[in-house]
Amino acid sequence: MRLATFFLLAMSVLLSACQTTDAKNCSPASKDDAALFVYRAVSMEDATKRFGIEPTFEFGHAKGSVSSETGRTYNKWGQAVNSLTGSSTGISLDVRDRLRKHIRFKKGVLHICK
């Protein structure tokens, strides 16, 4: 029981540390804006071409999501690839950090926080 309590406490501290951006500075954004901000892509269409699937801008292990450990995005084959090079080697911590600090979903609407 103590281990479970410690784990929950540690997770809440980590989550609060990742959400340092003030919610007051968030504004609704289009997927094109998010693709430009997160992936430095010209548009959502450009980002979709890179991965073969539309990015979700969320952490996870499903196609289109981003690995919270490496920052790589899972492509249409389920392989985590670098967002800039398309290579399955290397890490994209800049993508991970931009997602953590600046992308929020509020009631299902994508927001970019400055």
The CA-based diameter of the chain, rounded to the nearest angstrom, is 50
Residue 20 has pLDDT above 60, yes or no: no
Banded model confidence at residue 12, pLDDT cuts 50, 70, 90: very low
pLDDT tens-digit map of 27-57: 999 999 999 988 888 899 999 998 999 999 9
pLDDT tens-digit map of 73-109: 999 999 988 876 667 766 677 888 888 889 998 888 9
Is the torsion defined by CA of 68, 79, 90, 29 positive or negative? Answer: negative
What predicted TM-score, i.e. pTM, was given to this entire model? 0.70
Which residue do the tokens 């548009």 mark?
43
Which residue do the tokens 């801008």 mark?
57
Residue 9 has pLDDT above 60, yes or no: no
Residue 6 has pLDDT above 80, yes or no: no
Q: Strand, coil or helix: what is 6?
A: helix
